[in-house]
Amino acid sequence: MLFVASTAYLLGVRRVRSRGESWPLRRTIGFFALGLLPYAVIELGFLGVYSSELRWAFSTRIALLIFAIPAGIAAGRPLDLVPAGVRERILASRVTRIFGNAMVATVVIAAVFCLFLTPLAGILRVDPVAEASLGIVVPLVGLAMVLPMMALGAVHTGTFIAIEFLLAFVELLIDSVPGLLMRLNDNVLDLIPDATQTVSWWPSMLHDQHLAGDMIWFIAEFADVPILVILMIRWMRSDRVEAKGFDDLSDEEYDEMTRAHLRGER
């Protein structure tokens, strides 16, 4: 996945520059330094190695893959490298418009975190195929939410974005619930027996679950900040677009629109 993503991005940069257009170096650095490098550290480092054995490593890995990695990759603006016609079709698709708002993101992320409260989390953790597949599927789910959210800045109205913004604050509370339940529960929720305790620092099953709850809670609350920032930027862009639309109206058109508003017309 690292090779495919790197090659596709660099080919896209080359295509843009071959057309005589500039591509800021900071975007390329952001894509690799904030996106692919952390992904490699997560998947090939401690979290990836012990993901199938430690609940807190597995939970931390999934939380970072769905929050941090998509945000880092989005810093490289990969959608801007897609040909304009293809990009417009992607952004205009129903799936993109559904995933590209904070309402759906709230539901999806809450559903993912609630899986940690069920035996399904243990099954996904110990199954080699499922555990490896999550390293690809989870970041893609995160990207499906983050990239459209950044690109659809002027599509929704200011009122719709305001609702999204308020819902994002609600998400701050919703995301904390699974972590708190895992932390406060005195029963092992995934029903998977302990792996062999090969070293002295290996936690017990219950302590392992409590650590997983702590990490989910911390990462979820911290990672909501970039989403709030993105929504704020979208709100500002939408406000500028709406303001420009009013500025372009003639005095007669503006007066007529005001009278129609007072009459209750849409």
Tell me what pLDDT residue 106 has: 73
CA–CA separation, 39 and 32 (whole Å): 9
pLDDT for position 31: 94
75 neighbors 64 (Cβ within 8 angstroms): no
Say whether pLDDT at 185 is over 60.
Answer: yes
Number of domains comprising the chain: 1
Residues contacting residue 241 through CB under 8 Å, at least 6 positions apart = 154
Most confident range (mean pLDDT) of 12-21, 97-106, 217-226 is 12-21
Domain extent for 92: 2-193+202-262
Cα separation values, 54 from 50, 193, 197, Å: 6, 11, 10
pLDDT confidence band for 162 (50 / 70 / 90): low
**pLDDT-based confidence at residue 154 (cuts at 50, 70, 90):** very low
* Better-scored residue on pLDDT, 142 or 100: 142
Tell me the C-alpha distance between 218 and 214, whole Å.
Answer: 6
**Is residue 24's pLDDT more than 60?**
yes
Q: At 33, give phi and psi (nearest 5°).
A: -75, -35
Give the per-residue pLDDT at 94: 80
- In whole angstroms, give the CA distance from residue 100 to residue 152: 7
- Return d(Cα 112, Cα 92) in angstroms, integer: 26
Assess whether pLDDT exceeds 90 at residue 100: no
Q: For 204, which DSSP code?
A: P
Highest mean pLDDT among 29-43, 216-230, 237-251: 29-43
Of 70, 71, 69, 78, nearest to 23 by C-alpha is: 78
pTM over cut 0.85: no
Q: What is the mean pLDDT of residues 148-175?
A: 63
Give the per-residue pLDDT at 11.
93
Tell me the pLDDT tens digit for each residue of 233-259. Answer: 666 766 666 666 555 556 666 566 566
pLDDT at position 167 = 65
> What's the helix, strand, coil split of the chain in %, to 5?
80, 0, 20
Q: Copy the structure tokens of residue 28.
A: 């390329």
Burial track 72-110 (b if 16+ CB lie within 10 A, e otherwise) = bbbbbbbbebbeeeeeeeebeeeebeebbbbebbbebbe
8 A C-beta contact, residue 224 and residue 168: yes
Q: In whole angstroms, give the CA distance from residue 82 to residue 224.
A: 27
CA atoms of 101 and 178, how far apart (whole Å): 22
SS3 for 134-175 is HHHHHHHHHHHHHHHHHHCCCCCCHHHHHHHHHHHHHHHHHC
pLDDT over 50 at 183, yes or no: yes
Name the more confident of 30 and 110: 30
228 and 71 in contact (C-beta within 8 Å)?
no
